[in-house]
């Protein structure tokens, strides 16, 4: 079967870097992307969501906090500010981040609270909680 390489890279370094992928699914801002070998080249912005990488009958799931996906003939690269393998997610930390963000959103009508920023933090935390342990 034809396969391709996949890298997930953050400012802290690579989170995933392997060959032999059979499929990658990701959620772009324009909708769900299913990448199979031979997919047309593209660059697309991602939502805060899951990335699924299928390789040898096993699917690895990562939480990705936005960023971009670049599809080239032999390689898929995901560049994101933050990304974690499901097993590396600290659920307690994500739960604490979720509660902090919810409190900020409750106070959002008061001055000085950045609603959009709190909403993004909430989305990151909920995404991590959903993906942890998958």
How far apart, in whole angstroms, are the C-alpha atoms of residue 13 and residue 72?
21
Residues 4-23 binding ligand ATP (CB under 6 A) are 12
> Which of 33, 46, 94, 131 is the binder for ligand ATP (CB under 6 A)?
94
Q: What is the DSSP string of 24-82?
A: EEEEETTEEEEE-TTPPPEEEEBPEEEEEEEETTEEEEEEEES-EEEEETTEEEEE-S-
Q: How many chain residues bind ligand ATP (CB under 6 A)? A: 13
Closer to ligand ATP at the Cβ: 22 or 84?
84
CA distance 76 to 107: 41
Q: Does 93 bind ligand ATP (CB under 6 A)?
A: yes
Question: Chain-centre distance of CA 52, in angstroms?
Answer: 9
CA distance 19 to 81: 22
23-28 vs 13-21, strand pairing mode? unpaired
Segment interacting with ligand ATP, rule: CB under 6 A, options 18-26, 47-55, 108-116, 120-128: 120-128
Q: Which one of residues 19, 59, 87, 90 is an interface residue with ligand ATP (CB under 6 A)?
A: 90
- Scanning 27-35, 51-59, 67-75, 90-98 for contacts with ligand ATP by CB under 6 A, the matching segment is 90-98
Residues that bind ligand ATP in the complex, under the rule CB under 6 A: 12, 65, 82, 84, 88-90, 93-94, 97, 121, 124, 128
């Amino acid at each position: 079967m034809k396969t391709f390489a996949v890298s997930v890279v953050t400012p802290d370094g690579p989170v995933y870097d392997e060959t032999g992928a059979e499929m990658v699914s990701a959620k772009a801002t324009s909708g769900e992307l299913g990448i199979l070998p031979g997919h047309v080249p593209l660059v697309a912005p991602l939502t805060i969501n899951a990335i699924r990488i299928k390789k040898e009958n096993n699917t690895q799931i990562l939480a990705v906090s936005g960023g971009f996906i670049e599809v080239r003939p032999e390689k898929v690269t995901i560049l994101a500010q933050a990304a974690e393998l499901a097993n590396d997610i600290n659920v307690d930390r994500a739960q604490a981040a979720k509660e902090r963000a919810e409190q900020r959103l409750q106070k959002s009508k008061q001055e000085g609270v950045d609603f959009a920023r709190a909403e993004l933090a909430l989305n990151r935390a909920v995404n991590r909680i959903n993906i942890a342990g998958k």
